[in-house]
Amino acid sequence: MTEEISVEVVYALPDVQTLVQVKVPAGTSVIDAVERSGIREKHPEIDIGKNKIGIFGRLVKNDQIVRENDRIEIYRPLIADPKEVRKKRAEEGKVMKKGGGDLPA
């Protein structure tokens, strides 16, 4: 008899998070656990070839073997480049002269 372990598969949208708990045989890969979870039936936009996958916030390869109580996270593609967002925010801060004013007495 093959030992089964419990894992969670998570996919989050801006307004809702889907969390599926699933039992898989020991030695199951991340990609197989995602498939067994059925989460792609609820979210057909998930493209395993494009979406990155992590365990507890750490990126992993699809063939990574899962362990008991792992939290498998399916990441959405970034809409904006984080570096560009920070750069724009910094430029806006210079225009608004943040942090350069006098403190009230």
Q: What's the chain's average pLDDT?
A: 87
pTM exceeds 0.75, yes or no = no
Confidence band of 6 (pLDDT split at 50, 70, 90) = very high
Dist. CA 84–CA 24, nearest whole Å = 41
Confidence band of 90 (pLDDT split at 50, 70, 90) = confident
Confidence band of 96 (pLDDT split at 50, 70, 90) = low
Domain ranges of the chain: 4-96
Closest CA to 11 of 44, 68, 24: 44
Phi-psi region of 56 (alpha: psi -120 to 50; beta: other; left: phi over 0): left
Pick the CATH number of 4-96 from 3.30.300.30, 3.10.20.30, 1.10.3720.10, 3.40.640.10: 3.10.20.30
Confidence band of 51 (pLDDT split at 50, 70, 90) = very high
pLDDT one-digit tens code per residue, 52-71: 999 999 999 999 999 999 99
